[in-house]
């Protein structure tokens, strides 16, 4: 099964979350599952995020690789020198 994570436009910019959802709907595609859309980012620690990641499972019931945290508006991070996006690895995941 294919899930769309990101779409880059011809001008080399990326779609924001709303645009990606519209694009997928209009083209009969499925975006990656959204597990939370928290505008205030209420997680208080890395342990909170690791706890969420450790609960994630693939469609076959096996532990998922992890979760991606990303700003829905495509916000740029000067620290990362790219769009604000990072991955929390599920400690239960085995490749």
pLDDT of the residue at 30 = 94
Question: pLDDT tens for residues 9-62?
Answer: 999 988 988 899 999 999 999 998 887 776 677 788 999 999 999 999 988 999
pLDDT of the residue at 22 = 96
pLDDT of the residue at 39 = 67
Among candidates 4, 34, 7, 33, which has minimal Cα distance to 19? 7
pLDDT of the residue at 93 = 96
Residue 76 has pLDDT above 90, yes or no: no
Using alpha carbons, list the distances in angstroms from residue 33 to 4, 12, 50, 77, 81. Answer: 9, 24, 17, 24, 26
């Amino acid at each position: 099964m294919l899930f769309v994570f990101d779409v880059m436009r011809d001008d080399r910019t990326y779609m924001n979350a709303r645009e990606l959802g519209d694009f997928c709907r209009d083209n009969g595609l499925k975006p990656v599952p959204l597990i939370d859309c928290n505008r205030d980012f209420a997680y208080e620690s890395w342990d909170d995020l690791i706890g969420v990641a450790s609960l994630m499972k693939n469609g076959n019931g096996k532990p998922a690789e992890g979760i991606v945290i990303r700003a829905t508006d495509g916000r740029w991070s000067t620290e990362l020198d790219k769009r604000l996006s990072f991955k929390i690895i599920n400690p239960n995941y085995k490749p």
